[in-house]
Amino acid sequence: MCGFVCLWNIGDEALASAMITRIAHRGPDAVAVVRAENAPVVMAHCRLSIIGPQDGAQPIYQGKDILVANGEIYNHADLRAILGESAFETKSDSETILHLFRTDALRWVSQLDGMFAFVLATPERIIAARDPLGIKPLYVATIGEGLAFASELKAFDGIEVASIRAIPPGSLFDSINGMRRWYRMPQGAAEAEPGLEEEAVWRELRLVLEDAVRKWMVADVEVGSFLSGGLDSSIIAALAARAAPYRLKTFSVGVEGSPDLVAARRVAGHIGSDHHEHAFTPADVAAVLPHVIYHLESADVDLVRSAVPTHFAAALARRHVKAVLTGEGADELFAGYTYHHAYVDRPRELADELTRSLGTMHNINLQRVDRVTMAESLEARTPFLDRDLIDFAQTIPATMKLRRTDPQGGDSTGPTTEKWVLRKACADLLPRELVWRKKAQFDEGSGTVEALGEALMIVTGASRPLDREEEAAVYERLLRERYADPDRILANAGRWESGRVALAG
């Protein structure tokens, strides 16, 4: 995990150094700036060492090619075996990118399995690519006749650029051949096919989940797990506790006595984790709010609300580990949000909405997870967004994800149960009352919404709670105060409610 900057046809090492300094929080273990001898490129990198900590320094400069990468390649051991171990000079998982490129295979980037963003330069061309869902960020800007790439928008702050945009998820940019989409989200299924055995579906889902968690725990350092006490993080933590060769460390935050803290404590006791928790106050929220918004690179109300507890969880976890697992993505895969209930009798629209929301996570919830954890030099991993798990989950009919039933099954007129198939697949992992606990947003279950209300009164000096419009204005003001070019940041920010599939009739 790390951050990087790359300048193509812009021979300015001082600029690269200034840009990497702005995102140095992403990699406190080492910082390097390198000008290539055989290519018109300057690369800068800040490193958080997770795999190959002894010899995995970047940029990776071999022959006439140079590479910077951010993220993790989880199938790097398999790729090494295929490509030939003798070709490798380091133990870094990122080096597999360079050797895959050199095979000259037409779709070489599709062989990478993980979360990643990278820029690779040769004397003739520059190539930049991003993982399927955009878990890892990557931006490109035009500066004069050259191109500048960076892991966060704040790297460009105060720099005159002609244009700036994100490399789309699952896309590859080639200075010779232009942009292409190498990954497309599979369309979600709506209705069950005739003869489908539901038990067979959730049993297979459990196996795919277990594989994903094991894969996303690959590291040369200990990996912990966020644990909110909700279904998603509890499932991940329970599976990780079984897979880890050490006692898993789990981390929970909330206001004193909040439902999340109570539930997380119960889950931790059940799975036997080494549990750590932190209770925050409205005064704590008020103190960190400018920091959170600056790093989030967004003033969207819903994102800020969920970013605040993420910040406290990340700060807590970083005192103990360098990497954590999170439950991000389960709501988008299995219909876990409250607004999904409106689609309960419209499986086609629900399947389409889940597919849409998966494709837009990169500048919404995934942006929150990446920016806020990396602000604390912590790597967040999202096993629910494993490619194999996504492929399988998208074949599960929407009627098995959200349905009218009670936990016992069979009542088609009962209350709407979200993530039904996921609950069935993991029913044996956790106490029954936790498996069937009703969904609460992270900001709700942790008590953040109430704490934020008081914190905003502290920040503004208001004598009454702020309404949503006033809350949004405060967040935007705090963002504008921290950036030389705040409009550029706001223009690239996503909105959590934008573009939802409409229900006809």
pLDDT of residue 413: 56
Domain 2-181 CATH superfamily? Aminohydrolase, N-terminal nucleophile (Ntn) domain (3.60.20.10)
Residue holding tokens 């979200």?
418
DSSP code, position 28: B
Residues 452, 305 contacting (CB under 8 angstroms): yes
- What is the C-alpha R_g of the chain? 22
Q: Which residue stretches of the chain have pLDDT < 70?
A: 1, 52-56, 406-414, 438-444, 505
Residue of 2, 6, 46, 426 marked active site: 2
What's the full length of the chain, in residues?
505
Domain 198-484 CATH superfamily? HUPs (3.40.50.620)
pLDDT of residue 440: 57
pLDDT in tens, 361-398: 999 999 999 999 999 999 999 999 999 999 999 999 99
Residue (of 436, 440, 432, 419) closest to 202 by Cα position: 419
381-391 per-residue burial string, b: 16 or more CB within 10 A, e: under 16 = bbbbbbbebbe
Residues 71, 119 contacting (CB under 8 angstroms): no
Residue holding tokens 């489908």?
196
Residues 397, 191 contacting (CB under 8 angstroms): yes
pLDDT in tens, 74-101: 999 999 999 998 889 888 899 999 999 9
Q: Which helix (H) or strand (E) holds 117?
A: strand 114-121
Please report, in range form, the residues annotated as the binding site.
93, 253
**Inter-CA distances, 48 with 7, 31, 223, 307, 392, Å:** 21, 10, 13, 21, 32
Structure tokens at 487: 């409009």
**Inter-CA distances, 108 with 105, 181, 213, 240, 457, Å:** 5, 13, 25, 31, 53
pLDDT of residue 497: 79
The full set of domain ranges for the chain reads 2-181, 198-484
pLDDT in tens, 100-129: 999 999 999 999 999 999 999 999 999 999
Please report, in range form, the residues annotated as the binding site for ATP.
253
pLDDT of residue 439: 63
pLDDT of residue 396: 98
Report the 10 Å Cβ neighbour count for 145: 8
Q: How many whole angstroms separate alpha carbon 407 and alpha carbon 164?
A: 49
pLDDT of residue 415: 78
3-state SS class at 114: strand
Dihedral class, residue 192 (left if φ above 0, else alpha if ψ from -120 to 50, else beta): beta
Residue (of 57, 23, 7) closest to 370 by Cα position: 23
Q: Is 6 a catalytic residue?
A: no
